[in-house]
Amino acid sequence: MSDIDLIEQRLALRGHRLTGSRRRVLEAIAGQPAHFTVDEVVHSSAGVGRATVFRTIRLLLDLNVVCRVLLDDGTLHYRVSVHGHHHHLVCRGCGRVEDFTTCDVKQLIGQLSSATDYQIEGHWLELYGRCSECASGAPLVPSDG
Amino acid sequence: MSDIDLIEQRLALRGHRLTGSRRRVLEAIAGQPAHFTVDEVVHSSAGVGRATVFRTIRLLLDLNVVCRVLLDDGTLHYRVSVHGHHHHLVCRGCGRVEDFTTCDVKQLIGQLSSATDYQIEGHWLELYGRCSECASGAPLVPSDG
DNA sequence: TTGTCACTGAGACTCTGTCTCACTATTATG
DNA sequence: CATAATAGTGAGACAGAGTCTCAGTGACAA
């Protein structure tokens, strides 16, 4: 099942209508790279109003099928992601994003919780770096240009 | 030495002038709680233009004497913080903020780096929870209306 | 096929932040 | 002290992200 099918299912489950505009937004989102801005979606879903794109993306956030990605420069992008709580590792070179859930944030939270006497309930973590391709001196652009 | 003195020193060191407007912004910032918005500073530094407040805070960010705090609801606040790279633990109850630098983010980064083959260069981490006072049922507001 | 109401598009609006531009104040220098 | 150079300033226009309003439309159940 594709992400779009899953999303449509979740919409239906929650009693939301599957309208033409929503379908166009979903298709536009599916055609985006790792992460995207609302504006990019507006431009690639012709005929759909800006407000509707925002509304749809907000709805998808609520349904946990889209998540926010905080980029290095402080701008907020979006990303299709049907898993639950997770974090991002964003490549500064090509923009590729890895989702990860496995890593040991809990350990860190345990440490801090006992050190500060806080009851820790939530967290936000983004990591930035270079994927192996970008780190190894951009083998994608060998010698021309 | 107070934070203000330190900040004034750093301004001078970098060849920035210490003008009346800057002084008023610094005083306003010093009078803010754990974290604040630019708008709050604008309101409490009467007579200083909005643009100047923004410019001053941007300057203070550059000088690493103020940092951004990403709140739980996605809004960006600011905070005086003269230490270098650090993270925040924000109390959802009273808004109190703990800075921490000691915790073992490096270990986590090491794990991920080998798992994903990324060269990890930076990260952003915020934690949310309740401080001991807020967690223990708000002893600050006992019974009066 | 019809009624209901969730959804829509347009555009005004808000909020955060930046830019421009003429003006002002600080600082170094004669 | 006078003055020049220029960093800094305030007002307000502008920009980008997102929300709200409101009349109209279209999805879907009956």
Nucleotides of D under 7 A from a protein CB: 7-13, 16-21, 26-28
Task: Classify strands B76-80 and A66-70 as parallel, antiparallel or unpaired.
Answer: unpaired
Look at chain B and count its residues.
145
d(Cα B121, Cα A130) in Å, to the nearest integer?
8
Contact, B39 CB vs strand D, < 7 Å: no
- CB nearest to B108's CB, from A108, A112, A120: A108
Residue B77 has pLDDT above 90, yes or no: yes
pLDDT tens for residues A55-106?
999 999 999 999 999 998 889 999 999 888 899 999 999 999 999 887 678 8
d(Cα B21, Cα B27) in Å, to the nearest integer?
10
**Which of B:78-117 have CB within 8 Å of A?**
89, 91-92, 98, 100, 102-105, 107-109, 111-113, 115-117
In Å, what is the separation between the CA of A17 and the C1' of D25? 14
The whole-number pLDDT of residue B3 equals 82
The whole-number pLDDT of residue B1 equals 66
Would you place residue A144 in the very low, low, confident or very high pLDDT band (cuts 50, 70, 90)?
A: very low
CA angle B15, B20, B22 (to 5 degrees): 60
Residue range B114-124: average pLDDT?
92
Q: Which nucleotide is nearest to A11 (CA to C1')?
A: C6
Residue B46 distance to chain A (closest CA, Å): 29
What one-character DSSP code corresponds to residue B121? Answer: E
pTM: 0.88
Residues of A in contact with B126 (CB under 8 A): 123-125
Determine which helix (DSSP H) or strand (DSSP E) holds A71, and give its type and residue range: none
Nearest alpha carbon to residue B80 among B70, B95, B69, B65: B65
Distances (CA, A) of B45 to A22, B66, B68: 46, 17, 20
Beta bridge partners of B125: A125
pLDDT tens for residues A34-62?
999 999 999 999 999 999 999 999 999 99
The whole-number pLDDT of residue A103 equals 66
- Protein footprint of strand C, defined by Cβ closer than 7 Å to any strand atom: A 16-17, 19, 21-22, 47-52, 55-56; B 17-20, 37-39, 50-51, 54, 58, 75-76
The whole-number pLDDT of residue B79 equals 96
What tokens appear for A80 in the block? 């299709």
Residue range B64-88: average pLDDT?
92
Residue A21 has pLDDT above 80, yes or no: yes
d(Cα A43, Cα A58) in Å, to the nearest integer?
17
